[in-house]
Amino acid sequence: MPLPHLRDLRHDALAGAFEHVGVERAESVSRRLILALHGRGALDWDELPLGRSAGRVREHFRFEPLLEEARVREADDGTRKFAFRLRSGEVIETVLIRNRANRTLCVSSQAGCAMGCGFCATGAMGLLRNMTAGEITESKARIERETGERVTDVVFMGMGEPLHNYDAVMTACANLNVQDAAPIARKRITVSTSGLVDAIDRYAAERQPWRLHLSLHSAIQETRERIMPIARLHPIRELLDSMRRYQESCSVKWVTLQYVALPGVNMDDAHVDALERELRGLRTILNVIPWNDTGADFRAPTWAEVKDFTTRLRRLRCPVKVRYSAGKQEGMGCGQLSAETLAAAPSTGHMIAPPGIFTA
Ligand code: SF4
């Protein structure tokens, strides 16, 4: 069995793991290590302050690099997209979005995705494999080192369904938030799900402190099933009830729902009526995301269509925001970078449009 990788362990489990293998002064060694790993973003054994414990730690744990930077591209608006190759060969994407003082990192949680959403090329890849907690947090460490900029926000909206890789994603969130190590605030870590009801219920029961967003995309069951096969498992009312339970048990004031705008699919009056009907009793913020053309069988909306849709959404009496697609220019579409990097591998990601500036 391979040795555990130091970056894969939850920060509050490190001291116990060290103690278990006989590391002296395990508590103090683990405290120093956490600062190096999750604060300074150490990437090499030489950067870990292990002192006399080095031999014992190296005997029982691994700390080799988990990612190799394969490609990077920068858009005119400053958004940078990084393609990283995992040691097993798959390529994943991470996006750094600059918005005034904020530096938002859009991270992947899986190579590929099992959810098969029709508007997303990652869905067409199927699930290649789950990422480990260490792979997720190492992408942040590498990008901070390369850019010299401190990440302020992390959103799990890259490739993959984060709640389908629940344990690794929760460990990564905890390590991103670890105190005393330049933590990312709880409310600045966002997990976005396509709607796995059992996992949402677990998330609520465990009262996870990170924000949970739901990619709704339609409140009509038939439309949702058409564009998101996962909807066949979870009828819309069951799904929204799970979000109500989450809102209540985690004392969340507003639940954010993502709504990818697809003309001819989910922007007509019937869909506005369905939203008004189904969202009753749920305090929501609706994020409308104009679909970012990635070559699937849909059309990107014009701004006039988006404006008309959001005007009709006013009767929901909830905040409606339009999410600006950061880095939207030729060759910068989600997944293009990893597709170019991994020949013949179509991609894109949960990030239909990477989170960016709220414009309305
Ligand atoms: S949109 Fe997200 S959940 Fe759906 S297939 Fe793409 S990566 Fe998976």
pLDDT band at residue 328 under the 50/70/90 scheme? low
Query: In angstroms, what CA-CA distances link 191 with 108, 196, 215?
Result: 11, 12, 11
Show which residues are catalytic. Answer: 93, 334
Tell me the residue length of the chain: 360
Q: What is the mean pLDDT of residues 326-344?
A: 49
CA of 288 relative to ligand 1 center, distance in Å: 16
Give, using CA atoms, the residue closest to atom 6 of ligand 1.
350
Q: 298, 319, 234, 311: which is closest to 269 by C-alpha?
A: 311
Q: What is the pTM of this model?
A: 0.91
Query: How many CB atoms sit inside 10 A of residue 161's CB?
Result: 27
CA of 350 relative to ligand 1 center, distance in Å: 4
User: What sign does the CA torsion over 104, 110, 115, 118 have?
Assistant: positive
CA distance 40 to 335: 29
Per-residue model confidence (pLDDT) at position 333: 45
Has residue 350 got a pLDDT over 80? no
First vs last C-alpha separation in the chain = 52
CATH class name, domain 67-341: alpha beta
Has residue 356 got a pLDDT over 80? no
Per-residue model confidence (pLDDT) at position 324: 64
Residue 243: CB within 6 Å of ligand 1? no
Residue 123: CB within 6 Å of ligand 1? yes
CA distance 316 to 304: 20
DSSP 131: P
Give, using CA atoms, the residue closest to atom 5 of ligand 1.
123
CA of 165 relative to ligand 1 center, distance in Å: 13
Instruction: Give per-residue pLDDT as tens, 175-230.
Output: 999 987 778 999 999 999 999 999 999 999 999 999 999 999 999 999 999 999 99
CA of 31 relative to ligand 1 center, distance in Å: 37
* Domain map (residue ranges) of the chain: 6-60, 67-341
Query: In angstroms, what CA-CA distances link 103 with 95, 139, 183?
Result: 10, 14, 14
CA distance 123 to 242: 24
Give, using CA atoms, the residue closest to atom 4 of ligand 1.
117
pLDDT band at residue 344 under the 50/70/90 scheme? very low
Give, using CA atoms, the residue closest to atom 3 of ligand 1.
161
